[in-house]
Amino acid sequence: MKIKILTLFPNMISGFLNDSILKRAIDNQVCSIELIDMRQYSLDKHHHVDDTPCGGGAGMVLACDVVDRAIEANASEATYKILMTPQGRPYQQHIAKELSSMEELLIICGHYEGFDERIRSYVDDEISIGDYVLTGGELAAAVITDSVIRLLDHAIRKESSEDDSFSNGFLEYPQYTRPIEYKGKTVPEVLLNGNHKLIREFRLKESIRKTYLRRPDLLENRELTSEEMRYLNEVKKEEASQ
């Protein structure tokens, strides 16, 4: 997969590409990431990329001609173009899966007061990572990049991403490691007996418990299997009795 990020501040993103899973994925040619400075597509001798808003108002607005030239120079027919904006569709795990199947992504980082409305007509998608406003789209683009790359084949072990929170509609089950006992708190016995059937059942039930307690909204529109419904009813009874 190829990911290109159009930004006015490449240094805000470059650092996180040099560590951990992302660096290994790049080194192993699982993906390639290119940071593109939008200023090089300004025709102004001072490389201006913005201007004052028409009709007045505070701040500066990212110019549509600069962004259009940057997109044309870096996109092909196979490129899926994404604009990072708080007005976009809320980012969720299923969207990360959609994007991970793409051949090439071009992520456009807004900045300043906003961007010229006409820029919307040059992209395929608009995404928001939350109901808050950042200084620019760089951190949001980094979030998209990280969440997509870890889903690619050979980036991490397949079973690791399959157990992530939201991957199956639930929050992830609780995890433990050594020491088995610490300050009076012990690892659940079921995780130590080697019975994979019981371990799977325990993890599913505890995953449902976490979701019920912390994100009940995830259960509202999810069609549960008979096993999942049984565990949910058990969890409700157990929590009500406490």
Among 199, 201, 204, 179, which Cα is nearest to 189's? 199
Q: Catalytic residue among 65, 68, 163, 164, which?
A: 164
90 is catalytic: no
Please give the Cα distance from 220 to 92 (Å, whole number). 16
Q: Catalytic residue among 37, 86, 125, 203, which?
A: 86
164 is catalytic: yes
Q: Catalytic residue among 51, 65, 68, 113, which?
A: 113
Neighbours of 109 (CB within 10 A): 27
113 is catalytic: yes
Q: Catalytic residue among 150, 206, 209, 228, which?
A: 150
Two structure tokens written together for 190: 């079921």
How far, in Å, are 29, 74, 139, 146 from residue 33 at the CA level?
Answer: 10, 13, 15, 11
Among 24, 25, 66, 61, which Cα is nearest to 44's? 66
Give CA 61 to chain center in angstroms. Answer: 26
Q: Catalytic residue positions?
A: 86, 113, 150, 164
